[in-house]
Amino acid sequence: MERSTMAQAAGLEAGEPAAAFVDNYLSYLLAHASHLVSTQFHAHLRRYGVQVPAWRLLATLSEGDGKTIGHLARISLYNQPTTTKIVDRLEAEGLAERRRCETDRRRMLVYITQTGRDLVDELLRDAQAHEKRVLDGYTSEEVTLLKNVLRTLILRLEDDG
């Protein structure tokens, strides 16, 4: 990307010098891209009355029921106490429920309800359409490469942490 394009992408006015460090700083680039990609979809969630934390958990539960709070916390990027509060809200709204694990009665598992599934199924379709719009103009090879590089980065950083 040309320097003037980077300045525009960084929200700088024409003629305003771009900071070379920010232009190439991975953490900033990831955060900026994430913000731009997420903002529109998060606004869409708000129109449905769904908060982002609830969306993350419901989307995870939709892929297979019976998740522990610890698993949901890892996937949703929240700590366990925060995840517990989110699950409490989902239960109060009738979107999820806790049940004892049948093989280990000490463990509680979280399941999505039919009401939760109906909501998340529609939102998953919307999320896929949003992703398609975001990635429009990139080849399938570029999309695959981008996602693979991000997955590799995540795995490496998780292994280091």
Whole-number pLDDT of residue 3:
47
User: What is the total count of domains within the chain?
Assistant: 2
Residue 11 predicted with pLDDT over 70: no
Please indicate, yes or no, whether residues 55 and 42 belong to a single structural domain of this protein.
no
**CB neighbours of 138 closer than 8 A, spacing ≥ 6?**
146
Q: Do 77 and 42 have their domain in common?
A: no
Pairing of strands 96-100, 108-112: antiparallel
* pLDDT greater than 80 at residue 148: yes
Could you tell me what percentage of the chain is helix, strand and coil, using 3-state DSSP and rounding each to the nearest 5?
A: 70, 5, 25
Q: Are residues 63 and 141 in the same domain?
A: yes
Reported as a pLDDT band with limits 50, 70 and 90, residue 12 is low
With beta carbons less than 8 A apart as the criterion, state whether 69 and 155 touch: no
Q: Which domain, by its residues, includes 124? A: 51-160
Of 153, 140, 124, 3, whose CA–CA distance to 56 is shortest?
124
57 & 134 share domain: yes
State the DSSP H helix or E strand holding residue 108, giving kind and residue range, or none if neither.
strand 108-112
Tell me which residue of 129, 97, 128, 131 sits closest to 113, measured CA to CA: 97
Decide: residue 112, CB within 10 A, 0-12 exposed, 13-18 middle, 19+ buried: buried
Residues 39 and 63 both lie in one domain? no
pLDDT per residue as tens digits for the range 22-34: 888 999 999 999 9
> Do 77 and 137 belong to one domain?
yes
Question: pLDDT of 97-140, one tens digit each?
Answer: 999 988 888 899 999 999 999 999 999 999 999 999 999 999 99
Task: Say yes or no: 10 and 55 in one domain.
Answer: no
pLDDT digits (tens, 9 = 90+) for 42-91: 999 999 999 999 999 999 999 986 999 999 999 999 999 999 999 999 99
CA-CA distance, 108 to 160, in Å (whole number)? 30
The pTM of the full predicted model, rounded to 2 decimals, is: 0.78
The Cα–Cα gap between 67 and 110 comes to 5
| pLDDT at 110 (0 to 100) | 97
